[in-house]
Amino acid sequence: MPRSFPASIVQVAVPTPLHGHFDYLPPTQGPLPTVGARVRVPFGRRRVVGLVVGHGQTSDLPEGRLKHIEAVLDETPLLDTPLLNLLRWAADYYHHSLGDVISTALPNNLRQGKAAMARGIERYRLTQAGQATAPDTLTRAPRQASVLHRLQTHPEGLTLEQLRADQDSEPRPALKALIDKGLVASHHQPCLEPPRVERPDAPVLNEAQQLAVSRITASLGGFTCHLLEGVTGSGKTEVYLHAIEQVLERGLQCLVLVPEIALTPQLLERFRQRLNTPIAVLHSSLNEGERHCAWLSARSGEAGVIIGTRSAVFVPWARPGLVIVDEEHDSSLKQQEGFRYHARDLAVMRGHREAVPVVLGSATPSLESLGNVERGQYQRIELPGRAGGAVAPRLKVLDVRQQFMDEGLSTALLDAMQRHLEADGQVLLFLNRRGFAPALICHDCGWVADCHRCDARMTWHAGARRLRCHHCGHETGIPVRCPSCGSALAPRGQGTERIEQALHKHFPQYPAIRIDRDSTRRKGSLESALEGVREGRYRILVGTQMLAKGHDFPNVTLAAILDADQGLFSVDFRAVERLAQTIIQVAGRSGRALRAGEVMIQTHQPDHPLLSSLLGGGYTAFARTALTERREAALPPYASLALLRAEAADAQAPLAFLEKARDHLQSLSPPGIHPWGPAPAPMERRAGRYRAHLLLHAPRRQDLQQALTPWLPELTRLPGARQVRWSIDVDPVDLT
Ligand code: ADP
Ligand code: ZN
Ligand code: ZN
């Protein structure tokens, strides 16, 4: 029975997988910490940074067992109440611990208890004396010599963190010595670039764009969710920019979410050139100091625009104005591990709770969002044509059955490439498979190079001369002979590396470039490749998903999907939707300027109904057909799913645990829930662990939530729970 205490109990969320909050006594001195402030508390044998989420008069623990808060880290709330409530909602909806959810929302150094003060960024630069000093004159101070050398190659200056990243030891003492010698000086810079003084004129909006902007601005001050649909090049970004300007004029802030890959320097540059406000940028390759600074300037209201990837949906803001989610269909907006949230869905929820409009933009809206338009939840705004007079590309299916294929390229495609290259166009080839070949097999005995840790083939990487498993990262050398019969081995199938090689053979006079995760590992290499393409130094591009997103290639006149069959036969019910989106996105890369583009799709299934509807009526027709199929199969958006995953080194344990979990669910007899499975995961073994799934299906979202709430906490107590690692994924995107 709860007991009452004379003093308030402070409820603290602590980063731990355990759900709920933890009760503490106020600090022995000083005022009661406010809700939203960080505190340092003893937790088990550790001391951790937690966040105050409430005050109470009672606790389930006896007073003797309650501990005091050791230190209060914030005098004013770090997170305001609306944001804290959103995090609470997210923790409930995704059934994840509140402490972990709050942790996700904080930059690392705030999570660790650093002061929430924007100090700007300190940059170290050489003085004139430093520029004139040769590093090798500092022979007795090799660390100073190395810092000096680094700074000489970076005249713009480096932050301490940048220096730390490429020095073996802590650079601070060497830096201090160099400052004392007058060779280096530190410069304090505000953390956001000030807005540009000169801005280019904005293009005059066409009628559809004007209508879109006025519908968005008319909805400011309350919640509406707009779905802005328009092909690539239809001028969506221009609509965002005009809407943002109006929001800024009212003194409010805008939050813009984009997929990681779309947050390119070009997009940022376009925002910086056009908007008269400091812009806070948040993405994964920032260093700690930059992230801290950007986060705080969003929170203080100094940044008029906050632009970031997935986790930016949790950034605090002082004056909520407008939320924009660009490429809302993109699956990278869904976090796939740990706290498995969908940034688009949370953005809509945030807009709803903070009474600001939300704009979801896409050339290929997710079927979920189209379902919400159908139900009247979202307002659809369409941009019909291409802005600036560009012509839409023509789509064409290449039936490759019984055709001669050279390294995955049909004769018809090779001919078309020749034609476009001769006419000074660029050609883009899309293949969602990196490496040289997806399999290595023995032609004599049928031996295949399998990953010994996964149910998967090893991919042959020719450049690295390695076999790699794309599922667990396992690597080996390439065997010279078949380990089973000693015959020669042959690569089977094509990856982007092999296509690149074939291009050098077929089109030696036209420079080609490959763009995929392997070729762009080095920082900056993607940008320089994209620049080379835009400047026309490369005439042919071959690449993976990275090519399909957000980039502007005005001179690409032919785009080709090399293997559409990949997406037509997948166990994942969303694979076809993703294929259609990829085709339209890839098509969007072609003919963006005034030159008409052509798009070719190689397939063995030229009569596939979804492909036909896509070609006949575009993405809208495809979506209509696909939504009908989803409705008939009672799949999302016409039902809700939650996926309980379990994995273990033992082959039996995951299924056994999930069966117990299902039986327990059925004993609770929740209304409107259908457990599907358990069954082994489509790829049963990955990284040496066996995996199984239990999918919960519910026609109504509320029923699913009501079933999960009492059920999940019980799972840890089930027999076999300790033998497996399990997790719940609400609204799962990836079912493999
Ligand atoms: P999307 O975001 O839909 O791909 P953008 O806003 O990037 O489209 O527009 C594509 C190109 O057309 C850009 O170069 C942009 O500057 C230009 N553009 C957009 N709207 C107009 C307009 N109303 N008049 C002239 N050019 C425009
Ligand atoms: Zn063999
Ligand atoms: Zn593997």
Q: Ligand 1 pocket, 388 CB below 6 A? A: yes
Q: Ligand 1 pocket, 550 CB below 6 A? A: no
The mean-pLDDT minimum among 195-204, 376-385, 449-458 falls in: 195-204
The mean-pLDDT minimum among 188-192, 299-303, 361-365 falls in: 188-192
Q: Which atom of ligand 1 is nearest to the CA of 390?
A: 12
Task: Report residue 390's pLDDT band, with 50, 70 and 90 as the boundaries.
Answer: low
Domains of the chain: 3-111 (3.40.1440.60), 121-189 (no CATH), 207-388 (3.40.50.300), 391-437+493-629 (3.40.50.300), 640-730 (3.30.70.600)
Helix (H, G, I), strand (E, B) or coil at 415: helix
Average pLDDT over residues 90-97: 96
Cα(92)–Cα(59) distance, integer angstroms: 21
What order of strands is seen across the sheet that includes strand 184-189? 158-159, 121-126, 184-189
Whether residue 384 is predicted with pLDDT greater than 90 in this model: the reply is no
Give the closest residue (by CA) to ligand 1 atom 8.
235
pTM over 0.95: no
Between the alpha carbon of residue 362 and those of residues 204, 220, 549, the distances in Å are 22, 21, 11
Whether residue 46 is predicted with pLDDT greater than 70 in this model: the reply is yes
Q: Are 564 and 581 in contact (CB under 8 A)?
A: no
pLDDT by residue (tens digit) across 655-694?
Answer: 999 999 999 999 998 999 999 989 999 899 999 999 999 9
Cα(602)–Cα(566) distance, integer angstroms: 11
pLDDT at 132: 86
Task: Report residue 118's pLDDT band, with 50, 70 and 90 as the boundaries.
Answer: low
Q: What number of CA atoms fall less than 13 Å from residue 313's CA on the CB side?
A: 29
The mean-pLDDT minimum among 334-338, 521-525, 640-644 falls in: 521-525
Between the alpha carbon of residue 576 and those of residues 84, 206, 329, 585, 629, the distances in Å are 37, 33, 13, 14, 11
Cα(300)–Cα(47) distance, integer angstroms: 29
Hey, which of 232, 238, 590 would you mutate to test ligand 1's pocket, going by the most ligand atoms within 8 Å of its Cβ? 238
Cα(554)–Cα(557) distance, integer angstroms: 8
pLDDT at 149: 86
- For 471, other C-beta atoms within 10 Å of its C-beta total 18
Amino acid at 453: R
Instruction: For residue 487, give the ligand nearest its CA.
Output: 2
Instruction: For residue 594, give the ligand nearest its CA.
Output: 1
Instruction: For residue 488, give the ligand nearest its CA.
Output: 2
Q: Ligand 1 pocket, 209 CB below 6 A? A: yes
Q: Are 362 and 625 in contact (CB under 8 A)?
A: no
Whether residue 699 is predicted with pLDDT greater than 90 in this model: the reply is yes
Q: Which atom of ligand 1 is nearest to the CA of 205?
A: 23
CA of 447 to the centre of ligand 2 (A): 5
CA of 408 to the centre of ligand 2 (A): 24
Q: Ligand 1 pocket, 232 CB below 6 A? A: yes
Task: Report residue 591's pLDDT band, with 50, 70 and 90 as the boundaries.
Answer: low
Whether residue 391 is predicted with pLDDT greater than 70 in this model: the reply is no
Q: What are phi and psi of 646, to 5 degrees?
A: -140, 145
CA of 455 to the centre of ligand 2 (A): 20
Q: Which atom of ligand 1 is nearest to the CA of 204?
A: 23
Average pLDDT over residues 145-149: 87
Whether residue 306 is predicted with pLDDT greater than 70 in this model: the reply is yes
Q: Ligand 1 pocket, 230 CB below 6 A? A: yes
Q: Which atom of ligand 1 is nearest to the CA of 363?
A: 3
> Burial, 311: exposed, middle or buried (Cβ in 10 Å; 0-12, 13-18, 19+)?
buried
- Strands 475-476 and 489-492 come out as unpaired
Q: Which atom of ligand 1 is nearest to the CA of 232?
A: 4
Q: Over pLDDT 70: what percentage of the chain?
A: 96
Instruction: For residue 458, give the ligand nearest its CA.
Output: 3
CA of 436 to the centre of ligand 2 (A): 20
pLDDT at 5: 54
- Strands 358-362 and 225-230 come out as parallel
pLDDT at 592: 57
CA of 541 to the centre of ligand 1 (A): 23
Q: Ligand 1 pocket, 364 CB below 6 A? A: no
Give the closest residue (by CA) to ligand 1 atom 19.
235
pLDDT at 680: 95
Instruction: For residue 490, give the ligand nearest its CA.
Output: 2
CA of 293 to the centre of ligand 3 (A): 39
pLDDT by residue (tens digit) across 571-589?
Answer: 788 988 999 998 888 887 7
The C-alpha angle with vertex 369 and arms to 364 and 371, in degrees rounded to 5, equals 115
Neighbours of ion ligand 3 (CB under 5 A): 451, 453-454, 469, 471-472, 474
pLDDT at 107: 92
Between the alpha carbon of residue 538 and those of residues 421, 509, 514, 554, 619, the distances in Å are 11, 11, 10, 13, 30
Q: Ligand 1 pocket, 213 CB below 6 A? A: no
pLDDT at 566: 78
Give the closest residue (by CA) to ligand 1 atom 14.
233
Cα(696)–Cα(698) distance, integer angstroms: 7
CA of 697 to the centre of ligand 1 (A): 42
Instruction: Look over the chain and give the mean of its residue pLDDT values, rounded to a whole number.
Output: 90
Q: Which atom of ligand 1 is nearest to the CA of 588?
A: 4
- More confidently predicted of 286 and 341: 341
Q: Ligand 1 pocket, 320 CB below 6 A? A: no
- More confidently predicted of 198 and 731: 731
Task: Report residue 273's pLDDT band, with 50, 70 and 90 as the boundaries.
Answer: very high
Q: Ligand 1 pocket, 692 CB below 6 A? A: no
Task: Report residue 553's pLDDT band, with 50, 70 and 90 as the boundaries.
Answer: confident
Give the closest residue (by CA) to ligand 1 atom 12.
387
The mean-pLDDT minimum among 41-50, 151-160, 403-412 falls in: 151-160
CA of 445 to the centre of ligand 2 (A): 4
Average pLDDT over residues 632-656: 96
- More confidently predicted of 596 and 511: 511
Q: Ligand 1 pocket, 654 CB below 6 A? A: no
Whether residue 1 is predicted with pLDDT greater than 50 in this model: the reply is no
Average pLDDT over residues 485-507: 93
Task: Report residue 120's pLDDT band, with 50, 70 and 90 as the boundaries.
Answer: low
Whether residue 4 is predicted with pLDDT greater than 70 in this model: the reply is no
Instruction: For residue 441, give the ligand nearest its CA.
Output: 2
Q: Ligand 1 pocket, 33 CB below 6 A? A: no
Give the closest residue (by CA) to ligand 1 atom 9.
235
CA of 502 to the centre of ligand 3 (A): 28
Q: Ligand 1 pocket, 236 CB below 6 A? A: yes
Instruction: For residue 687, give the ligand nearest its CA.
Output: 3
pLDDT at 20: 86
Cα(645)–Cα(724) distance, integer angstroms: 10
CA of 406 to the centre of ligand 2 (A): 25
Q: Which atom of ligand 1 is nearest to the CA of 206?
A: 23
Task: Report residue 163's pLDDT band, with 50, 70 and 90 as the boundaries.
Answer: confident
- Strands 689-698 and 640-648 come out as antiparallel
CA 45 to chain centre: 35
Average pLDDT over residues 263-290: 86
pLDDT at 617: 85
pLDDT at 218: 97
Cα(559)–Cα(588) distance, integer angstroms: 9
The mean-pLDDT minimum among 191-205, 545-559, 647-661 falls in: 545-559
Give the closest residue (by CA) to ligand 1 atom 25.
388
The mean-pLDDT minimum among 154-168, 314-328, 625-639, 671-685 falls in: 154-168
Whether residue 388 is predicted with pLDDT greater than 70 in this model: the reply is no
Task: Report residue 593's pLDDT band, with 50, 70 and 90 as the boundaries.
Answer: low
- Strands 3-13 and 46-59 come out as antiparallel
Q: Ligand 1 pocket, 237 CB below 6 A? A: yes
Whether residue 74 is predicted with pLDDT greater than 90 in this model: the reply is yes
Instruction: For residue 549, give the ligand nearest its CA.
Output: 1
403: its two tokens: 């055709």
Give the closest residue (by CA) to ligand 1 atom 11.
233
pLDDT by residue (tens digit) across 248-268?
Answer: 999 999 999 998 766 677 788
Q: Are 196 and 273 in contact (CB under 8 A)?
A: yes
Task: Report residue 548's pLDDT band, with 50, 70 and 90 as the boundaries.
Answer: confident
> Burial, 592: exposed, middle or buried (Cβ in 10 Å; 0-12, 13-18, 19+)?
buried
Element housing 223 (H / E): none
Q: Are 208 and 236 in contact (CB under 8 A)?
A: no
β-bridge partners, 306: 255, 280
pLDDT at 119: 64
Question: Could you give the dihedral angle defined by the CA atoms of residues 354, 105, 114 and 306, in that order, rounded to the nearest 10 degrees?
Answer: -60
Look at the block and give the residue holding tokens 């590396």.
497
CA of 258 to the centre of ligand 1 (A): 17
Is the bond preceding residue 171 a cis peptide, omega within 30 degrees? no
List the end-to-end C-alpha distance of the chain, in Å, as a whole number.
Answer: 45
Q: Which atom of ligand 1 is nearest to the CA of 230?
A: 3
pLDDT by residue (tens digit) across 418-467?
Answer: 999 999 999 999 999 999 999 999 989 999 999 999 999 999 999 889 99
